[in-house]
Structure 1
């Protein structure tokens, strides 16, 4: 993995919103022909179906800072309730409406109080939360996945990731990696991203003395946009 100190600088660089739109559109296309049973498939997010995770992505792309703060206040600073309320708003009456709502936000640049790179990370990670249980494979551009990996390696803002990989030496087998120390964890960049955000299933794709350590640090993955704490 490359230096996480580059993340803040790159987070304001070009190409993030086009990448978000591209990945949203690809996910919508992948889900176009799902059956009712497939929509009800448990996702990698604890307690949520793939349909519910898609609604969560729609909710995250529909919240600006004002709406996010208003929702937090309305939910009396119960951040988990805020996530549930926003998800329910975007679920619709059936899977067709859930997908239609998501398609409408594909070009959206609306965001809660988060950097754009965090929105790209949400799109990628929750896309995999949906795809992997359905057996759908998607070829992400390696530069996009690497950028997300750098962000998560250096941040605990949306999901605990930096702390989860603390002391481990992450090595991507499909992209250049920077210097690091500690028990080794190696594998595809996508698997590293998913494991560092708590998806233990992806540890099966990793090798090295640190892989089992990382697996032990993975718990039940959750949907997190809307649960962002105000930071000073």
Structure 2
């Protein structure tokens, strides 16, 4: 997630307890089951009867129905237009994905999240009104590549294409040295936000605090500077 995504997520109502997921492939089922486990009411939708039955059998959603999401009348009859948030998890069938998204937005669904399989697919989804577009495979691929090349970086929040907040394992080179001694800002161009203390984090740690190999620190700065940190 980056700052461009925050406006969308801020617009979501915290009181919203109902979601519809259109497309019950692997990604759609994962979204359904995760929301269901978190206690939200989820309606699963797919044109494939077997997928609908599987979702109900495995209890990945409270409700699941079979319908053609390219048909506005079918969506209306099922009450899909009454949902505040609908996730269009159709990734491999571009035409079906775009038409479904268009149907939802033209009939008043406030928040439509759509899965894209390519940049062209993303442009089409945005053209018909998708509020937020995601690339699960692309994002997972990028995350894997970063993990393989920078295993010390545990997590990353991208502020924009050039800046991030990262959670990184304290390198051996920093072991036993104080924050003041490390001179993170002048030497690396980074600001230290927090350091792990057991299972918790010390926010805005004291400059005289010592860092130890194997603990975790959270820093903010440019990606170029982050990449300069010792492994």
Query: In terms of Rg, which structure is larger?
Result: 2
Q: TM-score, normalised by structure 2?
A: 0.25
Q: Please identify which structure carries the higher strand content.
A: 2
Ranked by relative contact order (alpha carbons within 8 Å, sequence separation 6 or more), the top structure is 1
Q: Please identify which structure carries the higher helix content.
A: 1
Q: TM-score, normalised by structure 1?
A: 0.25
